[in-house]
Amino acid sequence: MRRVHSALLDRGDRTPGALADLLDDLRREVQALPFSVPDADTPPREAYCDLRAHIARAWPELGFYDPVTGRALGRCDLPAEIGDALDDLTALARDLGTALALTDTDEADALACLRFSHDAHWGDHVQDVTPHLRWLG
């Protein structure tokens, strides 16, 4: 979880394809966790717009994409659905950040939060954005 959160915020020399691999690995690990609802109150979350801007600086080639093919979209390419890679990664970073904040107080609750938020929210974002990241290479 920490490794993926860090990769979202500090790209280093990772390619979008390498990020896709990290996301796939994280999803498999989280899906193997038992499902439970976290007991703790949700810690404060980073502001969406600030986090999105941070990720956009780290991953400038990301943008809108066709969720069926994963291909990037130009301004004139308008399929029935439009994916937003920055939104996908920002949603993931926020949920991972929330779970990471819980690790300081209750590791079991952090894992429950991670699995619950995966099933309710960020798992879909990862599933949607991964083909686009692979398409980018």
Max CA separation in the chain (angstroms) = 48
Position 51: which residue type? L
Residues 6+ apart with CB under 8 A from 37: 112, 116
User: When comparing pLDDT for 54 and 48, which is higher?
Assistant: 54
Residue 58: how many other CB atoms lie within 10 Å: 17
Write down the pTM of the prediction: 0.76
For 72-93, write each residue's pLDDT tens digit: 877 666 666 778 899 999 999 9
Sorted by where each starts, the structural domains of the chain and their CATH numbers stand as: 2-136 (1.20.120.1550)
What's the rounded Cα separation, in Å, for the pair 115 and 34? 8
Q: Which two tokens stand for residue 51?
A: 């986090």
pLDDT of residue 105 exceeding 80, the answer is: yes
User: At 67, is the pLDDT very low, low, confident or very high (cuts 50, 70, 90)?
Assistant: confident
User: At 94, is the pLDDT very low, low, confident or very high (cuts 50, 70, 90)?
Assistant: very high
User: At 107, is the pLDDT very low, low, confident or very high (cuts 50, 70, 90)?
Assistant: confident
What is the per-residue pLDDT for 93? 95
Please, are residues 81 and 67 in contact by the beta-carbon 8 Å criterion?
A: yes
What's the rounded Cα separation, in Å, for the pair 66 and 2? 29
For 1-29, write each residue's pLDDT tens digit: 899 999 999 999 999 999 999 999 999 99
Helix H or strand E segment including 109: helix 107-117
Q: Could you give phi then psi for residue 65, rounded to 5 degrees?
A: -150, 160
Nearest Cα to 1, choosing from 131, 93, 79?
93
β-pairing, 64-65 with 83-84? antiparallel
